[in-house]
Amino acid sequence: MSTQLDVKRLADRYVAQWNEPDPAARSALVRELWTSDAVHVLVDPPQEVREAAAALAVPAPFLEVHGHDALDARVGRAYEMFVASGEHVFAAEEPAELLPNVVAIRWSMVTTGGREAVGGGLDVLSLDSAGRIRTDHQFIAP
């Protein structure tokens, strides 16, 4: 991704997959955006996962999904949990190209009525030479 326009388009398409209501269209976006062996890593898992790990004296683990089918399920579940009710959508903020083929996308979950941010995070994407996502390390803001 050599131009800001390309990075912006990637960020818009990335966020669009999380907001897409049609499962077939969402699945198509996943397959367009990600390599077939891509990995999505939730770096800071939910509190209940961290607590369960701590009870076992284990540092909080990363949570990972691998490949199109798992990514499709992950994106679909996030849609069901956060967007399907119609109360919220995800919105990309200005993306940044950190290194060649490494893009950071800061995003917010906003209310549909007032566009008030109620959550957010940062995704760091590593891309292949065709601009498809190979790895996504997602950091959820507390």
Find out whether 109 and 93 touch, Cβ atoms under 8 Å: no
Per-residue pLDDT of the chain (142 residues; tens, 9 = 90+): 444 448 999 999 999 999 999 999 999 999 999 999 999 998 877 677 778 877 888 777 778 899 999 999 999 999 999 999 999 999 999 899 999 999 999 999 999 988 899 999 999 999 999 999 999 999 988 6
State what percent of residues in the chain have pLDDT above 90.
73
In whole angstroms, what is the distance from residue 139 CA to residue 142 CA? 9
Q: Domains, the chain, ranges and CATH?
A: 4-140 (3.10.450.50)
User: pLDDT digit string (tens) for 17-35?
Assistant: 999 999 999 999 999 999 9
- Residue 78: predicted pLDDT: 93
